[in-house]
Chains A and B, each alone.
Chain A
């Protein structure tokens, strides 16, 4: 078949490596990890064919069959209606389960090629597959591939044109499984193989007696490593750069601008004791650059490095299994840990991963808990930077309160919302050694994503702050909100500026608390309230899309309510 301008769909079970194959085919950068559900929306890219012709390749979320259960499944089944052709990606180490979908796809009549992916792993696992027999029985081209190394991709592209319209009569569910059984018996031989070290690790991290301590250890070690790398980068790389190279430049620019005036204040900011203080001056070229690059970037870098390694290893589904019990008490199930962990990096991808949740109830609970109690890494970095100076215990206090809110709010929502959290059912992939190249590529994607999306908003935020100060808008609003701010939370009226900017960027908002001369108690209350009262704009937009307007309004009401209550209690107790 002629492939010019055709739409080719990549369809297969979850976690068979569709996204890796997609990157190989199109050269496009997409996030791939070793756990089911990395891709929740569809991504498309162009595939160059030989004669300079292009075809469109679409990476579709993984499905087990064509009867949709979750929103991500629906996306996949909808896509199938409009595709011209299917590449069915099959996990070669798991032929039996994967082939059911293959048979379903074959009945749809759309031209199809089967890619037997993870071909390299079959050898280690003692699986031998006779490709020719399988191809003959299935009646469609079958190509062994290995997405990670790129093996077989060229042949896959070449054989695409062999695919033709199919005409197979529909079989019932039982008959399909019978057919799958026949196909597997004919084409696959299993050999005995010895347990590898990775497989032994799989066993001990799954069993609860050893799995729970391992989970605690992994989480603790991860945060220690993130902190160590983040702090080292700040004190040995970014701070020295800003203090030794950028500061003299800015001082000179400042005196060129006359040491004061509107332009000076917007670009350089206020001088503190005659000097620029990067975190307090609030000029676009000083604080505006220092916040994203020196305060936040180091932590974003270390967080996504550690997360990438855990993702590619395949640890997340195991962690999900270990915490399933606990999450059920909060009205969720274990897999809700995935959006929460992604939310720790940035709430936006966390909110997008909410699609992994099947029902409206859990989606609502997960979204509300994440937006209130899971601060993003940018915010965490700023809190650590600012509050940490007053003592590490205060940082711990803020996170302790947030964890408390997560647990209490989850317990309450679980009691008061009708329905119950669904049972889990997910596949636990084998451990795979993370490939340094793949990990770095993913890290690079996420870092450039952060820089492209966050830096403009931080700069805009700093500009807006300055403009609002010049027009004295904050003074006016401060009076309106003073009953809550001063009355309930015990904060000075001028913190309204930070609360407002929090809608735009939470890291800038936390930074704004710096120059206000707050007491330690006020700083702790303000940081906590900033974390819980409302999501930032970018997250809000995604949440509205995922939850719908009605649920979002309810959820936002709960967030503001929590902020008022928690802020007041902290003000009274501390």
Chain B
């Protein structure tokens, strides 16, 4: 769904108790389960 190496993603919010995380990829907002979100490794840009 557009989350792939080299792409800038922004975390918008996260739910408590290991709930879903919403991220912004390009112009799309995507809700991601905690477990999947855990596997997304990011490099902090600034």
Which A residues contact B (CB, under 8 angstroms)? 64, 93-94, 96-97, 100, 125, 127, 177, 202-203, 206-208, 211, 317, 320-322, 324-325, 333-334, 422-430
Contacts and interface: CB of A to CB of B under 8 A. Distances in A.
- Say which size band chain B's interface belongs to: 20 to 34
Contacts of B33: 324, 333, 422-425
B12 A96 contact: no
Contacts of A334: 20, 31
A206 B28 contact: no
B13 to A, nearest CB: 4
B31 A317 contact: yes
Given A97-B26, A206-B13, 20 more contacts: A94-B26, A94-B28, A96-B26, A97-B1, A97-B28, A125-B27, A127-B27, A177-B4, A207-B12, A208-B16, A321-B31, A324-B19, A324-B20, A423-B33, A423-B34, A425-B32, A427-B31, A428-B22, A428-B29, A428-B30
B10 to A, nearest CB: 12
A321 B26 contact: no
Interface in B1-46: 1-2, 4, 12-20, 22, 25-36
Contacts of A211: 13
A211 B13 CA distance: 10
Contacts of B18: 325
Contacts of A93: 27
Nearest to B14: A208
11 contacts: A93-B27, A96-B26, A97-B26, A207-B13, A208-B15, A325-B17, A325-B19, A334-B31, A425-B31, A425-B32, A428-B29
Contacts of A125: 27
B1 A425 contact: yes
B30 to A, nearest CB: 5
Given A94-B28, A324-B19, A64 B1 contact: yes
A96 B2 contact: yes
B31 A97 contact: no
Nearest to A100: B2
Given A325-B19, A334-B20, A208 B27 contact: no
Nearest to B20: A324
Contacts of B1: 64, 97, 425, 427
A434 to B, nearest CB: 19
Nearest to B23: A428
B31 to A, nearest CB: 5
Contact of B15 (A202, A325, A425): A325
Contacts of B28: 94, 97, 427
Most buried by B among A100, A211, A423: A423
A305 to B, nearest CB: 27
A430 B30 CA distance: 11
A207 B21 CA distance: 10
A208 B32 CA distance: 14
B46 to A, nearest CB: 18
A317 B4 CA distance: 23
Contact of A424 (B4, B27, B31): B31
Contacts of B25: 97
B41 to A, nearest CB: 16
A356 to B, nearest CB: 14
Contact of B27 (A94, A202, A425): A94
Contacts of A429: 29
A424 B32 contact: yes
Contacts of A208: 13-16, 19
Contacts of B34: 423
Most buried by A among B2, B27, B36: B27
B30 A426 contact: yes
A161 B27 CA distance: 32
B31 A428 contact: yes
B26 A324 contact: no
A97 B20 contact: no
Given A97-B25, A208-B19, A427 B30 contact: yes
Contacts of B29: 202, 206, 427-430
Nearest to B18: A325
Nearest to B32: A425
A505 to B, nearest CB: 38
Given A97-B1, A177-B4, A324 B15 contact: yes
Contacts of A100: 2
